[in-house]
């Protein structure tokens, strides 16, 4: 099973007020929808899944936020695609291995963009960065 495409559809970053004291940073990722789509490769037609997601970083108390909405395309064996889509339609659940692969990809891509956007709007990095200690 392979992720073949990743796109952001909406990007938002806002710094509301200058921060004072301790800033709590929380990240949330959610899958909003899963739908099968048809992909054409020359004359061959394959099924794939489109995962719609939302990634949000909140800075509290009411300091600001960063959010991304997007999608990724996931290909696999036809019977696997059908089973994943049916489980989503029925219970809004996904197999653990699919969840891990999809969420890891979203986190990886979104965290990189969130770090860049946080610097652009002068918010703290949403991911703790390593610090160098002098001896």
Eight-class DSSP state of 22: -
Task: For the domain made up of 2-79+97-120, give the CATH fold.
Answer: Bacterial Protein-export protein SecB (3.10.420)
Residue owning tokens 């037609």? 45
Q: Report the chain's C-alpha Rg in angstroms.
A: 18
Predicted pLDDT of residue 129: 80
Predicted pLDDT of residue 120: 94
pLDDT of 85 above 90: yes
The helix or strand, by DSSP H or E, that contains position 122, with its residue range, turns out to be none
Predicted pLDDT of residue 19: 62
Average pLDDT for 39-56: 89
pTM of the model: 0.87
pLDDT tens string 99-135: 999 999 999 999 999 999 999 999 999 988 888 888 8
End-to-end CA distance of the chain: 47
pLDDT tens string 8-46: 999 999 998 776 778 899 999 999 999 999 888 777 888
Map out the domains of the chain as residue ranges.
2-79+97-120
Predicted pLDDT of residue 66: 97
């Amino acid at each position: 099973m392979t992720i073949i495409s990743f796109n952001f559809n909406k990007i938002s970053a806002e710094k509301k007020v200058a921060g004072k004291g301790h800033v709590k940073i929380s990240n949330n990722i959610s899958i909003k929808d899963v739908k099968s789509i048809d992909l054409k490769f020359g004359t061959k037609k394959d099924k794939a899944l489109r995962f719609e997601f939302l990634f949000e970083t909140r800075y509290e108390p009411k300091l600001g936020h960063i959010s991304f909405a997007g999608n990724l395309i996931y290909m696999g064996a036809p019977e696997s695609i059908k089973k994943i889509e049916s489980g989503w339609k029925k219970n809004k659940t996904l197999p653990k291995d699919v969840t891990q692969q999809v969420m890891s990809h979203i986190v990886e891509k979104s965290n990189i963009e969130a770090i860049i956007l946080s610097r652009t709007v002068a918010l703290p990095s949403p991911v703790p960065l390593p610090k160098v200690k002098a001896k």
